[in-house]
Structures are given as C-alpha cells and as structure tokens.
Structure 1
C-alpha cells in the first residue's frame, strides 16, 4: 500500500518568479549537481500550454537503506517528469509529478500547487511513494521516505535561493 506524504515550502518571491526558477534549465542542472548526481540530463518542453520538465539522474545507492542498495546495485537511475499546468488568473499553478527508478519497482507520484501567499508564495506537494515488493514494500517505503523528503527540502531551499535572486 503506497505511503502518503505532504510537504510545504514558503517563498518570498511571487508564483511567477518561483515557477520561472523551477523550469529554468540552469536551475535544473544546479539541482542535479547539488543532489550529488553522478550523471544527469534535463529538458524543458511545451505540450500545448503546459510546461513539461524531464530529468534523469544517476545516483549512488550508498545513502539508501541496505536492502534497497543490495537490490539496486551501486547506482540507480532516477527519472522524473513534472507537468506544470498554465497559470490561473491569480498566478497559481498546479503540477503533476512522477518519479521512477529505472529497473526497480519504485514510483513516487505527487501533485503540487504553487499559489500566492501574502507578498510571496507557497508550494504544497502531496503524494505517495510506492515500492512494489511483496511483504517488504511498506518497510522500504517507510525507510526511504525520510531521505526523499530531505531531498525535497534541499531542492526547495535551492529554489528559494534562486527565486530570491530573481
């Protein structure tokens, strides 16, 4: 059964500035480098009025729970696709994110809302992590989720730095 999570970040910048950072290829490269990716690719494309951000990162599994690293090997390829809807009248945006680990039964799905919040904005991410391994999936999810949320927080902090400088 998937493990739910929720994370919220506040920005001093308005949603338009934060969104511009989150889809900036230079930010995406910096995000991958800060995460310790051994290799990475990023792309930003349009699909009608939506903006699609695709990234692939090869990461070391030495920071994962031992059971996961034994299953995955020394590295894992993380593929992430985030689709941003067009801005609403108030400047808010919604996105849908899917993160998978290549050749592993792991999927993170989430939706987010980037909305005005006073003079700045807030970004709320709600989703689930699912590890499809009989009997052990829930244990692996609970062990992996704190690390994934720490990564989300680290990436949010980087986005805050970039948005503050925008």
Structure 2
C-alpha cells in the first residue's frame, strides 16, 4: 500500500536539517514514540549528506489482537533515513526504509525536505508499505500504516517543541 505523510516545520530547511541530524533530537523523538529500548546512530553532517539510523523495541499494543500472535509482545523496528546534500535553496531529498524484525513488513520510499514559505518547511515521507503474509497481508499493512502515522505525529509534536526550545522558530 502507498503511504505518504508530511510534517510541517516552523523553520527553514537549513535549520530543519540541523535538527534532523542532531543525535539529541533523534533520541528525543524515539523516546517519545514509546520505545521500550532504543539505539540512535547519526553519520555525516547537516552541511553535507547524513544518515540517521534508529533501532527501537516497541510494544505491540497498536497491533490488533488477532494479529499480535504473529509478532509477539514487542517488535524491533529499524528506521534508516539517508539524506543527500542540500541544494542551493536548502532543500534536500533522500531515502527511507523501515523494517520490522520478526514481522514480514517493510516500508521503502523517498523523503523530501523543502521550503514552504518564509521560515517554514515540510518533510515528506512517501513510500510503499508491504507485508508479505498471504492471508493477513492487508490487515498487517493497515496496522503498520497506522503505527507509522502515529509515530510521525509524535515526531511532529517533538519537532515543534524542539524548534521552539532551540530558538529556530521565526520570531514574531
């Protein structure tokens, strides 16, 4: 199934890239997602290309009960965002992959960070979510899509607080 989610950020693309590549921000958003345990790795720099890799153990409470026996009490989620170097206007593109260990689910797609007016930008995640279970595939995809959307809504909230707290939001 196709999945597309956009985050609206009250800051320009350069400042957004600084945030997205900051290990402290990444750690904060992963913690806020409800992870039971996690690991964060950021390589590269916001002035060039950078890659953000997170691994997190997540409870399965967002997965419908009749599907939970397929994945157990927790799932291990690996997320990799590989951002290319910025264009002259600060925009950048990249790839995103989400894999769930022990579950036949994978999201792969593209990311984009672009200006959206003065002191505003958007981050878009657009990809294909696939579950390779013959009978329950569609239900698993729907559950995974809901969990991914929820996690990105949490990220939106964390990003807004981060930007406000770090003085990257435009001043009135």
Q: TM-score, normalised by structure 1?
A: 0.91
Q: State the SS of the aligned residue for 1:86.
A: coil
Q: Which runs of 5+ in 2 are unaligned?
A: 167-172
1:86 corresponds to 2:81: no
CA shift, 1:94, in A, is 0.8
Q: Name 1:41's counterpart in structure 2.
A: 39
Q: State the SS of the aligned residue for 2:70.
A: helix
CA shift, 1:130, in A, is 0.8
CA shift, 1:117, in A, is 1.3
Q: Which runs of 5+ in 1 are unaligned?
A: none
Superposition CA RMSD, Å: 1.6
- Rounded to whole Å, the distance in 2 between the matches of 1:148 and 1:81 is 14
Asked if the contact 2:96–2:125 (Cα under 8 Å) also holds between the matched residues in 1, the reply is: no
CA shift, 1:113, in A, is 1.0
CA shift, 1:105, in A, is 1.0
Matches within 5 A, 1:1-150: 3-46=1-44, 49-119=48-118, 120-150=120-150
Runs of 4+ off more than 3 Å: none
Q: Deviations over 1:82-135 (max 9, x none)?
A: 101000011001121101011221101121111111111122221121111012
Q: TM-score, normalised by structure 2?
A: 0.88
Q: Deviations over 1:55-90 (max 9, x none)?
A: 100111122122332111111111111101000011
Question: How many residue pairs end up in the alignment?
Answer: 163
- Rounded to whole Å, the distance in 2 between the matches of 1:96 and 1:149 is 17
